[in-house]
Amino acid sequence: MTSSLNEWRAHARTARETDRQVRRLYHLAHRIAPIGRILTNPNATADDIAYATARIPRALAAASRLLTRPGVADHLEAPYALSFLTTAERALTAPSTQLLKTANTARAAAAAASANSGWTRHEHVASEAVLGLAARWGLSPAAHIPHPTADDQPPVPAYIAHEVARRTEIRARCTAGIRCTRTTCLAYGAVWTHNGTGQGPFLCPGCIPAANADRVARRFAPTLQTVPGGVPAGARYSVTLYNGSGPGRRTVTCETPQEAQFTAETVRPFNNTGYTIQITPAQ
Ligand SMILES: [Zn+2]
């Protein structure tokens, strides 16, 4: 008894420590997101760029160290925190960042050339060509961009804390599985159905008779039934996210019903996103 209580305490300590490390990952991600945005600002100066290009790799290195701590890489919130860091990393190597650097070099060279007339005509032409290209890309001359504060542990801002809480809540209710598609029900833990000729909607067993009654009312045969044996092992869940008020759709493939339902409720590529979940048999 004492030993299992001690084990329980040890588990609780480990879980608290993992949560603490994941919060550090969020702090890091939050600190680096605005620094990544410096690189997408056409008014970034050479100093701004140097600052961002030094800070981002350091943050990425710190994040990889955090990911080696027990349980952090497998934590359900780790991918969301990492998505902010990935965006900053992409900004680091984006062509627009290279062009910002080139434009700033050209500007500095042009300024130096006007101060001393040691430039050849060829150098002037090359410099003007780069400046012209920069102007076409909307990269106007320097305006100072304030650096984000480099405090070590700023509090996680309310909107991120709120978003994390919202996602945790959705994840908790998705543990029961896929949501019943009957709008008067919407309970979690629905089963896969078949309509006699193809895939039917996900419904709770208790909703199938009512769904069949609806079919009769619409002059269809009441053929909906649960698929014997349920979803086969190795099958995938295809979540189609569609635009409810215009063209556009996107499909995400998931391995578990929990992940599929979570994706359906959290990935919103359109203002008015709707979703359907279908089964793709194992290949
Ligand atoms: Zn139902």
Q: Which of 205, 240, 252, 241 shows the shortest CA–CA distance to 224?
A: 205
**How far is ligand 1, taken at its centre, from the CA of residue 211, in Å?**
9
Q: Ligand 1 center to residue 181 CA distance, Å? A: 7
How many Cβ atoms are within 10 Å of 113's Cβ, its own excluded? 15
Distance, CA 93 to ligand 1 centroid (Å)? Answer: 48
**Which amino acid makes up residue 280?**
T
Q: Using the mean position of ligand 1's atoms as its centre, give its distance from the Cα of residue 191 in Å.
A: 9
The pLDDT tens digits for 22-31 are 889 988 988 8
Gap between the Cα atoms of 109 and 127, Å rounded: 8
Q: Cα(210) to centroid of ligand 1, in Å? A: 9
- Ligand 1 midpoint to CA 6 (Å): 42
* Rounded mean pLDDT, 109-117: 62
Ligand 1: distance of its center to the CA of 83 in Å? 34
Who wins on pLDDT, 25 or 123?
Answer: 25
Mean pLDDT, the chain, as a whole number?
82
Q: Cα(206) to centroid of ligand 1, in Å? A: 6
The tens digit of pLDDT for each residue in 70-111 reads: 889 988 888 888 888 888 888 888 877 777 777 777 777 666
- Phi and psi (nearest 5°) for 191? -105, 160
Question: What was the pLDDT predicted at 39?
Answer: 85
Tokens 């078949």 -> residue:
194
Between residues 107 and 185, which one has the greater pLDDT? 185
What pLDDT was estimated at residue 209?
A: 96
pLDDT tens profile 131-177: 665 555 554 443 344 444 444 444 566 767 777 788 888 989 999 99
Q: What confidence score (pLDDT) does residue 281 get? A: 85
Predicted pLDDT at 242: 94
Helix ranges (DSSP H) in the chain: 2-38, 46-67, 78-93, 95-115, 121-136, 158-173, 208-217, 257-266
Ligand 1: distance of its center to the CA of 259 in Å? 19
